[in-house]
Structure formats: C-alpha cells, structure tokens
Amino acid sequence: MTLSLVASSFLFTNCVAPSNMTHTQKSAATGAAIGAVGGAIIGKDSGKSLEGALLGGAVGGAAGYAVGTQR
C-alpha cells in the first residue's frame, strides 16, 4: 500500500506540474509530495499524521531540490 501511495503522489505531482516549471522545481515538488505521504504514514503509528506529513514534506522538498540541482 505504501508503494502505491508514493507512486500515485509522484504521478499526481508530475501531472499537475505546470509546463513552465524548471526541472529543479518539479524535483522539489515531487520530493515534497512523496515525503508528505511517507511522513503521514510513519506519523500515523504514533498518532501524529499531520506532524509527520509536514516534516516529511519539508525534508522531501529539500531532498528533491538538492537532486534537481545536480542535473
């Protein structure tokens, strides 16, 4: 189930991303979406889904930005 959520968030982010976004911006948005889903899933175990999603989104966005700038 986790893999399907990550895959669907990746596809959703790429489908709704405007065509005028740079590669770095798309990478950051994709990372934030995947991080938010992952953080919510992990946070659910401790009853803090929202906090997990926020933290995961921030970390995922930063990681996606870093990856996007390497191109």
pLDDT value, residue 17: 58
pLDDT value, residue 5: 57
Domain extent listing, the chain? 2-10+24-69
pLDDT value, residue 69: 92
The pLDDT tens digits for 9-64 are 556 655 655 678 899 999 999 999 999 999 999 998 889 989 999 999 999 999 99
pLDDT value, residue 39: 93
Is-above-0.95 flag for pTM? no
What residues contact 51, with CB distance under 8 A and at least 6 apart?
39, 43
In whole angstroms, what is the distance from residue 6 CA to residue 21 CA?
21
**DSSP letters along 22-71, please?**
-HHHHHHHHHHHHHHHHHHHHHHTTT-HHHHHHHHHHHHHHHHHHHHHT-
pLDDT value, residue 21: 87
For tokens 């770095």, the residue is 24
